[in-house]
Amino acid sequence: MPGQTWWRTAAIYQIYLRSFADGNGDGVGDLAGLRSRLPYLRDLGVDALWLTPWNVSPMADGGYDVADYRDIDPLFGTLADAEDFLAEAHGFGLKVLVDLVPNHCSDQHPWFRAALAAPPGDPARDRFWFAEGRGPGGDSPPNDWRSYFGGPAWTRVADGQWYLHMFAPQQPELNWEHAGVRAEFEDVLRFWFDRGVDGFRIDVAHGLMKTPGLPDVGADPDPADLPYQDHAGVHEIYRAWRRIADGYPDPRVFVGEVWLPTTAQFVRYLRPDELHSAFNFDFLCCAWEPNAIRKTIDDTVATHHLVGAPPTWVLSNHDTIRHVTRYGREDTTFDLGNRRHGAFTDPVLGRRRARAAALLTLALPGGVYVYQGDELGLAEVEDIPLERIQDPTWERSEHTDRGRDGCRVPLPWSGAEPPFGFSPPGSTAPWLPQPRSWTTLTVEAQETNPSSMLPLYRQALTLRREHLTNLPEDPTWLAGDDGVLAFRRGDTFACVVNFTATPARLPDHEAVLLTSEPLTGGLLPPEAAAWLRL
């Protein structure tokens, strides 16, 4: 998609690199595998790719623990492979965003190794958050903060000091008050921009700065006022980054992972001199319920208007429960703190709703994210043997939360049994086991099955690109029956979603462009969506 504002309307496909395609046969996805599948991505009709971290990493958290920000992990390839990939993706008309992990690095990063080798009080420790413990002998952590993965957010080192990590102990928090940390990341941005990266997805964008003194959160903290997130000082960092991105003749962009409880906090990250866009987690977490969905859409559009940023829409990512599963449950919301693993799921209903949700999200204004496997209708894999689980959440939660591996299982491409074309024949088994039942969900199988998920995504993405991206931004709601949401964009296009258990009438229209289920006697069946030309 040419033009300076491609990012305002782009359909961005999220590549979880470890699980997309394995080129070298070691059971882990890599750049060679991704390059071999670029024609698939072009034909799918997406505009851009977002790659989860590809930097050198011990993989304590799937690459979100970076040991060298300027090189590629050997699991994935080399820097030269990355440069070739960027050129090839661009040749296919695809923009490329990559993950940037500025909140923390790996405990194997040279900075942290130097910090550990230095004594307490040494400047080498100032790039991190080292502190004395509390209580007799300093045996208790310096404050009461908890890691997002469970357990205390502090780990003690041999000389008795503690260091802060809001995620795993292998992910020490960087101290963004340190000028050297800021300078380093500005240089890292330029390093990748100069190699053709079109933008960054910023990990934990709300978390970089901490309240001075690192005060306790207490027993009943206000989620909108936590000392480890959304510190006002973070915005200056993004203003500096924006100036760097804007310094390139073709626009380089940022999408923030901004998980915050209030829109007032969220929207500040999207001011015109800060990040270009951010993920819409309110929409991802929203129940599949018409009033809630309508309110979330209205709030999203209104909020983004305040700062002139494009709304975005996302149903799943590598941290969440796949929405085919979520929408088949009684409680269809997503909650980071309680993934409800193993809750009863109706897979037929979940799939039907996921098809409707695809048409809904792809019809809305702004940008949209498709997580790899969404287009295949993959469900959460809930029966990974416990001894195969890799997500640090499992250990950190003392085996109460299986974590995120169930949405990270390697993709099924072809064939009748694992590895389903994920790896070349004769390879090491995939790093997470694939369900045998995926035989009918491979790309190959869906290509010849017109009622499968893949053709729906292909048609919707193609129609979206050709007809929808230039439509007026604001959706206008149409009157309709209870439990049916219908909106138009401009005078020519409408999307209708039937959330009820009975067939629904469609508004007057010239033609039916696409439906998630076949119409029955001109009516929209239960739990289905339609795109109409008015």
Active-site residues, by number, are 203, 257
Smallest distance from the beta carbon of 122 to ligand NOJ, in angstroms? 26
Nearer to ligand NOJ, 7 or 64 (CB): 64
Mask for 257-276, x = binds ligand NOJ (CB under 6 A): x-------------------
Nearer to ligand NOJ, 147 or 498 (CB): 147
209 vs 102, 170, 227, 233, CA distance in Å? 11, 19, 9, 7
Q: Of 66, 164, 204, 360, which lies in the binding site for ligand NOJ, with binding defined by CB under 6 A? A: 204
Per rule CB under 6 A, count of chain residues that contact ligand NOJ: 9
Q: Of 22, 107, 173, 203, which lies in the binding site for ligand NOJ, with binding defined by CB under 6 A? A: 203
Mask for 84-103, x = binds ligand NOJ (CB under 6 A): -----------------x--
Mask for 335-374, x = binds ligand NOJ (CB under 6 A): ----------------------------------------
517 binds ligand NOJ (CB under 6 A): no
Smallest distance from the beta carbon of 185 to ligand NOJ, in angstroms? 15
313 binds ligand NOJ (CB under 6 A): no
Smallest distance from the beta carbon of 167 to ligand NOJ, in angstroms? 5
Residues comprising the chain, all counted: 534
Smallest distance from the beta carbon of 369 to ligand NOJ, in angstroms? 12
Number of other residues whose CB lies within 10 A of the CB of residue 197: 19
Element (H, E) at 201: strand 199-202
- Subset of residues 221 to 250 that bind ligand NOJ, contact rule: CB under 6 A: none
Report the distance separating Cα 400 and Cα 386, nearest Å.
11
Smallest distance from the beta carbon of 7 to ligand NOJ, in angstroms? 20
Sheet of 154-156: strand order equals 130-131, 162-164, 154-156
148 vs 112, 127, 140, 346, 512, CA distance in Å? 21, 21, 19, 30, 46
Smallest distance from the beta carbon of 220 to ligand NOJ, in angstroms? 25
176 binds ligand NOJ (CB under 6 A): no
Look up residue 469 and give its two tokens. 């991206």
407 vs 1, 173, 232, 319, 372, CA distance in Å? 29, 26, 34, 7, 10
Nearer to ligand NOJ, 317 or 446 (CB): 317
Nearer to ligand NOJ, 94 or 314 (CB): 314
205 binds ligand NOJ (CB under 6 A): no
Look up residue 19 and give its two tokens. 């699980």
Nearer to ligand NOJ, 274 or 319 (CB): 319
Nearer to ligand NOJ, 260 or 524 (CB): 260
**Long-range contact pairs involving 70-73 (C-beta distance under 8 Å, separation at least 24):** 70/188, 70/191, 72/31
Nearer to ligand NOJ, 50 or 420 (CB): 50
Residue 17 · residue 54 · CB < 8 Å: yes
Report the distance separating Cα 409 and Cα 402, nearest Å.
14
Amino acid at residue number 93? G
70 vs 110, 135, 189, 247, 282, CA distance in Å? 13, 41, 10, 20, 33
**Tokens 């037929």 appear where?**
348
List the end-to-end C-alpha distance of the chain, in Å, as a whole number. Answer: 26
Smallest distance from the beta carbon of 512 to ligand NOJ, in angstroms? 38
Sheet of 312-314: strand order equals 277-278, 253-256, 199-202, 95-100, 48-51, 11-15, 367-371, 312-314
202 binds ligand NOJ (CB under 6 A): no
Residue 321 · residue 407 · CB < 8 Å: yes
Nearer to ligand NOJ, 61 or 517 (CB): 61
DSSP state string for 45-100: T-SEEEEPP-EE---TTTT-S-SEEEEE-TTT--HHHHHHHHHHHHHTT-EEEEEE
Sheet of 528-533: strand order equals 476-477, 484-489, 493-498, 528-533, 511-515
Smallest distance from the beta carbon of 171 to ligand NOJ, in angstroms? 6
Q: Of 81, 107, 173, 319, which lies in the binding site for ligand NOJ, with binding defined by CB under 6 A? A: 319
**Tokens 């024949």 appear where?**
425
384 binds ligand NOJ (CB under 6 A): no
Nearer to ligand NOJ, 229 or 452 (CB): 229
64 binds ligand NOJ (CB under 6 A): yes
68 vs 86, 110, 332, 387, 423, CA distance in Å? 19, 8, 39, 29, 27
54 binds ligand NOJ (CB under 6 A): no
Smallest distance from the beta carbon of 204 to ligand NOJ, in angstroms? 5
107 binds ligand NOJ (CB under 6 A): no
Amino acid at residue number 463? L
Q: Of 6, 69, 112, 167, which lies in the binding site for ligand NOJ, with binding defined by CB under 6 A? A: 167
Report the distance separating Cα 445 and Cα 450, nearest Å.
10
Nearer to ligand NOJ, 18 or 304 (CB): 18
Smallest distance from the beta carbon of 255 to ligand NOJ, in angstroms? 12
Name the residue number minimizing CB distance to ligand NOJ.
64
Residues contributing to the site for ligand NOJ (CB under 6 A): 61, 64, 101, 167, 203-204, 257, 318-319
